[in-house]
Amino acid sequence: MADHQAPAAARGRPLSGRDLQPIPLRRLGAALPEGAGREDLQLRIRAGEYAVPQDSLGLVVHPWLRGVPERVDVEPLAFSVLDTVAESSLAEAAVILDAVLAGRITSERTLALDDFVEWEPYLRTHRRRARWARAVEFADPAAESPGESGVRALIRELGFHAPELQREFVLPDGRRVRADFAWEGVVAEFDGMVKYRRSQELSGVSPVDALEAEKHREDGLRALGLVVVRIIWDDILRPERLRRKLLQAGVPRAR
């Protein structure tokens, strides 16, 4: 939406639905109450017999959105998360739940698993309940980025033992560092490149200095006798590449 706002503003009008049409979207309908079909649900809503769960969201946190009301009606966050996760793959669900439970969302407060309990009756099918339960069992707020969440799900789907997240090591020079993923004798780092390309903006360190610091950090981990695996976005898009990397590093398989 931000990418589409700039050209819209240049044409002298605010963002509209026309600007969003090129963006690929998937519509996820609200969960149905028991015994209701989609058409029956609409009739119940119009008759006032059933109210779609509703909350209010302030748009002032998005200054690039112009010509819109200050607040809009939306689904409650917990309901929307549950409804979406119940229709998502494990990797998609992990990206969502890890971020929500870690508080990495724009919200007035952090959600906990207890906040979803009141909405669980909306999961009317065994498939949706099973997907939600699997996602809850797998979620881990220790994952620090969407890439780490996706990699973690892919590691499971490829049949490897679950790694420990953010394990701390003391390097030979005394520095304490954390590894994204760790097994016995092996660590893996997810490299999303953002920390290099935006290092000046994020931490005041030049991309060259950030890359050099990461090299020294990796050398320190290897000096401890650890095998270091670098994981990039392309490994997520091509799971066979990640499988080969983990096998060559000696990561144990769960099956």
Helix (H) or strand (E) holding 255: none
| CATH number for the domain running over 146-249 | 3.40.960
Each residue of 88-106: pLDDT tens digit? 999 999 999 999 999 887 6
pLDDT digits (tens, 9 = 90+) for 177-198: 999 999 999 999 998 555 555 5
Domain boundaries, the chain: 53-138, 146-249
Angle between the N-to-C axes of helices 239-249 and 146-157, in degrees from 0 to 180, rounded to the nearest 10: 80
- pLDDT tens for residues 205-235? 566 676 777 888 889 999 999 999 999 888 8
Q: Is the pLDDT of residue 165 over 80?
A: yes
What are the beta bridge partners of residue 178?
A: 168
| Tally of residues, the chain | 255
Tokens 């990397």 — which residue?
245
Confidence check: pLDDT of 133 > 90 = yes
Phi, psi dihedrals of residue 227, rounded to the nearest 5°: -85, 130
Q: What is the pTM of this model?
A: 0.71
> Model confidence at 161, in pLDDT bands (50, 70, 90)?
very high
Q: What are phi and psi of 50, to 5 degrees?
A: -145, 130
Q: Residue 72: its pLDDT value, please?
A: 73
Task: Write the pLDDT tens digit of every residue in 32-84.
Answer: 666 677 788 778 777 877 666 777 777 666 665 666 667 777 778 888 899 89
Query: How far apart (Å, rounded) are the C-alpha atoms in residues 226 and 239?
Result: 23
